[in-house]
Structure 1
Amino acid sequence: MTRPSQSATSTKRLVWELAATGVLILVLYYPTLKALVSDWNTDPNYSHGFFVPFISGYLVWEKRVELKKANASPSLWGLPILLTGLFVLIAGTIGSELFTKRFSFLIVLVGALFLLSGKEITRLLLFPIFFLALMIPIPYILYDAIAFPLKLLASKVACWCLLLFGIPVFREGNIIHLASTTLEIVDACSGIRSLVSLITLGVIFAHLSQNRLWKKIVLILSTIPIAVIANIFRVTGTGILAHYFGPEVATGFLHTFSGWLIFIVAFALLFAVGIILRKTAYRS
């Protein structure tokens, strides 16, 4: 007769333990998270970071029925994970490595959750937690290693396309020389911004729309060629407009608007890929 009340008491205690631990983790990571939010505000490549925690919260809410049914059993296996996260935090602090410190936040969350609630609840919340990784800017050395080849690729292919349209053009690295103006493909035009945002949308879209792991992987991977091709179209279109209507179309409102327009088209293509995968018949 006392089991329901004991279960309710146990659940309430777990909620309070998780809440208290969450507050302690937030206090511990306050300087790190404050700097992270500042990066979202100043770095256009990661302005989507403001939305990621809310999406993660929705993913947790989506699991509410399963969480109520899940068996909460504290496990000491969470302690090594928690200690690993704290070690990574200390190492990142000593080495002044922002990415390491920020990623350790996710490891600490998983470790604390595993320690207090056990394997079953941690398994249910693992995706929402690691989805938060998409709000963390990648290390600059990796960013540069991705952005530079993207700039060269966009410049090279755009030049080929412009020549096909009969527009005289000369390229020097990531600089495109037209008869009337010169276009420099800087980091902001490399396509990495739309790539990062599209990958974020692709991950959540794949999670919500696909029912098999291989389909989710294919959909997420498709964001890469879609973003690259979309950016090439944008650079080519900018070159055509600049040739016929002057260099002012390559800057200001029209340039920004073209970026949004191309991103919408890219997401439409991603959505189409998702529909195709959804309609793919199961085969034995």
Structure 2
Amino acid sequence: MLKNNYLRILSLFGLLCAVWALVFWPTLQNMEAVWRSSDTYTHCYIIPLIAAWLLYDQRQFINAPAKPTLLPLLPALGCAAVWLVGYAADVNSLTHFSAVFVLQLLTLSLLGWQLGRQVAFPLFYLIFMVPFGDALNLPLQDLTATVSVYMLNLTGIPVLREGLYLTTPVGQFEVAEACSGLRFLIASIAIGTLFSFLTYRVWWKHLLFVGAILVFSVLANCMRAFFLIWIGETSNMQYGFGADHFVYGWLFFALVMFSMFWLGGRYADKAPTGHAGATVAVPAAFWQPVGCALLVLGATLLLRSQITEIAAPAQAEQLAAPTGFSTEPARHWQPGFQDGLARLQVWDATGNGYLLARYGHKQQKGELISWNNRLYQRKTWSETNHKTLTLSGESYQLMELRSESGEQQVLFYQYRIADHRTTSASKAKLYQVLALLSGDQSYSEVRAVNLPGALLDMQPQQLEQAAARLQTLP
């Protein structure tokens, strides 16, 4: 009887998962694409497997009866509404989190509060499937640079800081995106949270250990960067860079994680004893919550189908260059935005580059503002300055960039959503949603200018002329 009841619950859970995956399939595809294309999130592939293993490993402690409830369906409905807004606006953070929250809440509705409490952690752990934290890269880079300068000064090594570039007597070092420590931070939080669940039984120890993992991961990355610069400085760049750069980094992080787990394990709580012979009951009112859950998913799917999507071409249409512009192959500037409806990248006689990328407010594939659409190659260039300025009566966001070799360039850009102009990505997303809701059939655009050289060497008239030429693009 016990086995049959479990099979009924698992069968209905499988049904909900299948319908959930159908409804949120675009989001699941997008999440997997992020996992596949970024080393920071490759661990996300094994998160569902870890959750399943936890359920199996803790099976002797799962003995409460299943008592489905309708209450979790109310916040699930709200999360579905948030997902629809995020889906319409192509805001991945909203769609990713909302989709996972809906699955967790539907599962809780199926199991009930008592059984849900016993499987709470494996259910919660699914949140680590979401590829979050990318916005922390720049603050972590800045913190790493600040701590490295402080430590170098303590050791008596003179250092000049220019943004994310640190210059010492033996050379110049860049605190690149890969040096931010975000990859290690996210992975260590996921692993540390799992370790905490398996080791402790009281809530304050969970919070203390995960908080310590977070703090020490950030500090460890700062110290790693400092030691690499110190080794390079004291060895006249003979050690600390090249292949040993990565070996040293991972050995350092492994030592930090081992130390944290060893220290945390010394204060482990006594493991609870399991219980056998549990009865998992399936009450008569079981199908009511399941039916309501399917109704929520069905309504979400229906509303999703009402959002108008434009079929994007396999390759963006290449617009004709206006008179006075050249369509030479890309030189030093290689922006993204290749997945839109139309695109134009040209140069003028002075060597300034111009970009126009046009998108539908909602495309089946590709979006104006996304994690992989960048105006510059982040592996090659780093941002040293940014500000908002007005040129030729239009507002632009300006960025000054610098490469590891010391080259500099200036970018300024704006978004155009129907009749709106903005330099804010969040406002651009909002305007796209409003355009969709109003049935606007126009387009969304990004327009950008690239000027080789340092900002200090440029005259205001030069920026004005470049902005005026940008306005002449079709």
Find the counterpart in structure 2 of residue 168 from structure 1. Answer: 158
Contact 2:47 2:129 in 1 (8 A): yes
Find the counterpart in structure 1 of residue 261 from structure 2. Answer: 271
TM-score (norm 2): 0.53
Q: Structure 2 vs 1, CA of residues 100 and 206 (structure 1 numbering), >3 Å: closer, same or farther?
A: same
The reply on whether 1:18 has 2:8 as its aligned counterpart is no
Find the counterpart in structure 2 of residue 84 from structure 1. Answer: 78
Find the counterpart in structure 2 of residue 196 from structure 1. Answer: 186
Q: Structure 2 vs 1, CA of residues 152 and 129 (structure 1 numbering), >3 Å: closer, same or farther?
A: same
Number of residue pairs aligned between Structure 1 and Structure 2: 269
* 1:74 partner SS: coil
Measure the CA separation in 1 of the matches of 2:133 and 2:265.
34
Find the partner of 1:53 among 48, 52, 58: 48
Contact 1:84 1:107 in 2 (8 A): no
Give 1:137-148 correspondences, 5 Å limit: 137-138=131-132, 140=134, 143=135, 146-148=136-138
| Residue 249 of structure 1: how far off its partner (Å) | 4.6
Identity %: 26
Measure the CA separation in 2 of the matches of 1:8 and 1:209.
30
Measure the CA separation in 1 of the matches of 2:9 and 2:144.
52
* 1:46 partner SS: helix
Measure the CA separation in 2 of the matches of 1:49 and 1:114.
22
| Residue 139 of structure 1: how far off its partner (Å) | 5.9
Contact 1:215 1:277 in 2 (8 A): no
Give 1:209-248 correspondences, 5 Å limit: 209-247=199-237
Contact 2:140 2:182 in 1 (8 A): yes
Letter in 1 for 2:170: S
The reply on whether 1:41 has 2:71 as its aligned counterpart is no
Contact 1:103 1:136 in 2 (8 A): yes
Question: Where do 5+ consecutive residues of structure 1 fail to align?
Answer: 280-284
| Residue 9 of structure 1: how far off its partner (Å) | 4.3
Q: Structure 2 vs 1, CA of residues 107 and 159 (structure 1 numbering), >3 Å: closer, same or farther?
A: closer
Answer 1 or 2: which has greater helix percent: 1
Contact 2:228 2:241 in 1 (8 A): no
Letter in 2 for 1:205: F
| Residue 98 of structure 1: how far off its partner (Å) | 0.9
Measure the CA separation in 2 of the matches of 1:34 and 1:26.
10
Find the counterpart in structure 2 of residue 28 from structure 1. Answer: 23
| Residue 226 of structure 1: how far off its partner (Å) | 0.9
Measure the CA separation in 2 of the matches of 1:265 and 1:115.
42
| Residue 164 of structure 1: how far off its partner (Å) | 3.3
Question: Where do 5+ consecutive residues of structure 2 fail to align?
Answer: 270-474
| Residue 248 of structure 1: how far off its partner (Å) | 6.9
Find the partner of 1:205 among 195, 213, 228: 195
Superposed CA deviations along residues 159-183 of structure 1, whole A, max 9, x for unmatched, are 2322333333222232110122111
* 2:268 partner SS: helix
TM-score (norm 1): 0.85
Measure the CA separation in 2 of the matches of 1:59 and 1:268.
22
RMSD: 2.2
